[in-house]
Amino acid sequence: MKRFLLLSLALVPFLAACSAGATAAPSAPPAPSATSSTPPTKLTVGLGYIPSVQFAPFYLAQQAGYYAAAGLDVTFENKIDPDLITLVGQGSVDIGIADGTSVIPAVSQGIPVRYVATIYAKFPNIVFTKASSGIHSAADLRGKKIGTPGKYGSSWIMLQALLGSAGLTTSDVNVQLYPDYGQAAALAQGAIDAATGFVNNEPVQLGLAGVSTTVLTVDNVVPLPGNGLIAGVATIAAKHDALARFIAATLRAMTEITADPQRGLAASAAIVPDLGKDPTTQLAILTATIGTWSDAYTAAHGLGAIDPTAWQKTVAFMASMAGSPISGPAPAVSQLVDASLLAP
């Protein structure tokens, strides 16, 4: 996904200053199988707008036969985040990827969706700057020019949370808008001091171009929920077991790609042949993406686990924002997430 997460395409979901490296693969249960006499259940799966290496787990699960073994007939569709959330709520798409900070306002507006599995356990949206800038913390952003696509979406929410951790607001910085997503180029050229982006996108590409970066994350400030799988309330009721098998098969593929990123790259290149033309860049993107799939909570509770405390903190923060995107009363966590599709 050029922008997962996210998702604002907020879809999954890049490239990163912090990569997964040679970490141990997180554990995930094998996908349960359906009986051979059971006809496959058709599932329409909504991914990010642009097919990319960030969707490697889905591509691998399809190509390795994990979905078929689970009794599923899976079709992928590529959609932008706002459209995808609406389609999932309507039941036109059975399950898809969406950013947690997009799910919260959508549910507050009456769209009947639930976040059912975590993909990006670490929030991928970040602020990045040149390592030579002298900016090492949120406090160092005071008075600086910060480039961002717009005053909306997950990056804008992240920026406000990050600044707030240092007692700052967006009034304490000089916000420069780049609706064409040109903030990374502007940073490289020295037109701005810092920029919002994705940990598995701009810092990685700048690094490959020889530009060292410093990355500021929001995870220890407000644990914003990253991109994950969402499903409509009615679809969960009607296809509960099939959705659970889909999630288990996807988590299995994530585990295998963590252990062997080349498998994920190969699966992605089979879907998007152009990805195979620059394997160094694509592998760097995938490696950085893998680094977001697990955190302390998923390490303790299993890949895909949903942290209810993080969601509660995020709802409280978003409700307190000036110009909050939440409509009406803030939704309860039980109205936002449904962990029943995850294996115990």
Instruction: Render pLDDT for 114-132 as a digit per residue (tens, 0 to 9).
Output: 999 999 999 999 999 999 9
Query: Where do the H-state alpha helices sit in the chain?
Result: 56-63, 66-69, 81-90, 100-108, 153-164, 183-189, 202-208, 233-238, 240-259, 261-271, 279-290, 296-301, 308-320
Within-domain flag for 115: yes
Average pLDDT, the chain: 89
**117 and 231 housed in the same domain:** yes
**87 and 177 housed in the same domain:** no
| Gap between the Cα atoms of 23 and 290, Å rounded | 10
Whole-number pLDDT of residue 32: 59
- Two tokens at 128? 């990045």
Tell me which DSSP letter residue 264 carries. Answer: H
Q: Which residues contact 60 (CB under 8 A, 6 or more apart)?
A: 66, 253, 256, 257, 263, 264, 267
How many domains are contained in the chain? 2
Strand pairing of 213-216 and 174-177? Answer: unpaired
**Encoded amino acid at 316, one letter:** A
Positive or negative: CA dihedral 280, 214, 187, 200: positive
Whole-number pLDDT of residue 261: 98
Within-domain flag for 31: no
Q: Domain of 250: which CATH number?
A: 3.40.190.10
**Encoded amino acid at 157, one letter:** I
* Final residue belonging to a domain, choices 159, 191, 216: 216
Whole-number pLDDT of residue 60: 98
Local structure of 12: helix, strand or coil? coil
pTM value?
Answer: 0.88
Within-domain flag for 196: yes
- Two tokens at 148? 């961002």
236-247: pLDDT as tens digits: 999 999 999 999
Measured in residues, the chain has a length of 344
| Gap between the Cα atoms of 277 and 154, Å rounded | 31
Neighbours of 81 (CB within 10 A): 30
**104 and 172 housed in the same domain:** no
Whole-number pLDDT of residue 77: 92
| Gap between the Cα atoms of 247 and 241, Å rounded | 10
**118 and 146 housed in the same domain:** no
Within-domain flag for 209: yes
Collect the ranges in the chain with pLDDT lower than 70: 1-37, 81
Within-domain flag for 25: no
Whole-number pLDDT of residue 24: 39
| Domain of 208, in residue numbers | 125-216
